């Protein structure tokens, strides 16, 4: 079975948790796109839900699929968010932000009662860090922010190269919020909660891709079928 089919299987399993009348957070990325498409099929057959998209890309997908949308200005609480991840560890800590939507993704996840993470089994790791950690930053004072990030990495026992993400045009990638992303190639993050706390207090850091304590369950699709992991 190809990777795309596995992602769709995970999305279909998460859809089983959706009930009529729910307010949903709609994630960003290739796996979350499958969820939005499958959700649209249910809406067309009568399911009543409303969604808050985590990116402009997801907003466009939801509109295309006929999923009714709202914002966190109109409602301040969501029943469930379904989103993908770049890495998932056994405590259901995540690295997210490979698609550049980490800020909105975290805002939406934090406003939700539950967050189901959907992924193929390749995203499951024993220790986070193989995937570069995205850190969304303000361009102003970038050198000072990078220096503070390096100190945070050292204090948490991590180190690695920091690279400003490039867009397809060869210039710095710009997020939906108008910020830049630094991808930190750390290899291994031994204490993800500590690093998350250290990064969060750096003034030039808008948000980071460590999602600590937000995922409540993970739906992993692999060659042997679907595995559901609940947060311990």
Q: Which residue has 């969304």 as its token pair?
A: 136
Task: Write out the H or E segment, with its range, that includes residue 192.
Answer: helix 192-200
User: Please, which pLDDT band fits residue 30 given cuts at 50, 70 and 90?
Assistant: very high
Give the pLDDT band (50/70/90) at residue 2: confident
Helix axes 3-15, 30-44, angle to 10 degrees: 50
Q: How confident is the model at residue 3 (pLDDT cuts 50, 70, 90)?
A: confident
**Averaged over 194-222, what is the pLDDT?**
97
Q: Is 213 exposed, middle or buried (0-12, 13-18, 19+ CB in 10 A)?
A: middle
Residues 11-26 have a mean pLDDT of 97
Q: State pLDDT tens for residues 68-123.
A: 999 999 999 999 999 999 999 999 999 999 999 999 999 999 999 999 999 999 99
Instruction: Tell me whether residue 105 is one of the annotated catalytic residues.
Output: yes
Catalytic residue among 16, 17, 105, 161: 105
pTM for this predicted structure: 0.96
Per-chain mean pLDDT for the chain: 96
Q: Cα(217)–Cα(184) distance, rounded to whole angstroms?
A: 26
């Amino acid at each position: 079975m190809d990777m795309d089919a596995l992602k769709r299987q995970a999305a279909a399993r998460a859809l089983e948790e959706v009930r009529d009348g729910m307010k949903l957070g709609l994630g960003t990325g290739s796996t979350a796109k499958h969820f939005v498409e499958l959700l649209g099929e249910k809406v067309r057959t009568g399911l009543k839900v409303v969604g808050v998209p985590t990116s402009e890309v997801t907003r466009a997908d939801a509109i295309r699929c006929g999923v009714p949308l709202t914002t966190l200005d109109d409602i301040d609480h969501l029943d469930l968010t379904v989103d993908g991840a770049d890495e998932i560890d056994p405590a259901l800590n995540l690295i997210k932000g490979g698609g550049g939507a980490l800020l909105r993704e975290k805002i939406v996840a934090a406003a939700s009662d539950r967050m189901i993470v959907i992924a193929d089994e390749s995203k499951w790791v024993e220790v986070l860090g193989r995937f570069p950690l995205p850190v969304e930053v303000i361009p102003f004072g970038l050198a000072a922010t990078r220096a503070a990030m390096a100190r945070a990495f050292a204090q948490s026992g991590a180190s690695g190269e920091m690279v400003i993400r490039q867009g397809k045009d060869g210039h710095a990638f710009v997020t939906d919020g108008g910020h830049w992303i630094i991808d930190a190639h750390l290899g291994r993050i031994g204490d993800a909660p500590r690093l998350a706390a250290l990064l969060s207090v750096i003034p030039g850091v808008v948000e980071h891709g460590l999602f600590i304590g937000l995922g409540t369950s993970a739906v992993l699709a692999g060659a042997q079928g679907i595995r559901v992991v609940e947060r311990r």
